[in-house]
Amino acid sequence: MSAIDEVLAANEVYSHTHELRALTPRPSRRLAVLTCMDTRLSIRTMGLKEGEAHIIRNAGGIVTDDALRSLLVSHYLLDTEEFMVINHTDCGLMHTTEEDLRTRIQNRAGTAAVAPAFFHAFQNIEENVRHQLQKLRTHPWIPKSIAVRGFVYDVASGRLREIADAPQS
């Protein structure tokens, strides 16, 4: 059985109780989290339960145009008031470059492609988090009243560490 078939079978069982039926689309903690798709990060690592926060995920936990779109919908349509950006140690996008990634994929696929324009590879994780925060804080549609905070999740210790706005001098 394929993984998708297994999911369909599990969903059939879930639907008998449908425990999350009572949840509303509005996150009860008024929180939106943008983070990586990495398997080692989950709502459990943040002490969250279903229904409490929007979890927006992409490779790296990057403020892409689409992540920004989701965060705007989260705030303006569904009333979230705090944004958390989380990158993590040992991320697949670290210690590589745009060119290296593109070349590797192109070689395996056997053809070039115009999209995606960027993979958002990065070397310095703290700098990368600050870059994402800057993209959010300078956006004209993100009100100053929204708390925007950035973190690095350490996959070895399981701990979140807050990243200050400017590098410590």
Buried b (16+ CB within 10 A) or exposed e, 49-88: eeebbbbbbbbbbbbbeebbebbeebbeeeebebbbbbbb
Give the count of beta carbons closer than 10 Å to the beta carbon of residue 142: 18
Comparing CB distances to Zn ion, the nearer of 33 and 142 is 33
3-state secondary structure of 92: coil
- The residue (of 93 and 142) whose beta carbon lies closer to Zn ion is 93
**Could you tell me the smallest distance in angstroms from the CB atom of residue 23 to Zn ion?**
27
Q: Which residues pair with 161 in a beta bridge?
A: 152
Tell me the closest approach of the beta carbon of residue 136 to Zn ion, in angstroms.
19
By beta-carbon proximity to Zn ion, the closer residue of 125 and 142 is 125
| Choice between 112 and 156, CB closer to Zn ion | 156
Which CB, 86 or 148, lies closer to Zn ion? 86
CA distances from 133 to 5, 24, 84, 146 (A): 39, 28, 9, 12
Residues that bind Zn ion (CB under 5 A): 36, 38, 91
Q: Which residue has the tokens 């903690």?
A: 29
Cβ-based burial of 15 (10 A; exposed 0-12, middle 13-18, buried ≥19): exposed
User: At closest approach, how far in Å is the CB of 35 from Zn ion?
Assistant: 8
Residue 100 Cβ vs Zn ion, minimum distance, rounded to whole Å: 16
CB of 133 to Zn ion, least distance (A): 17
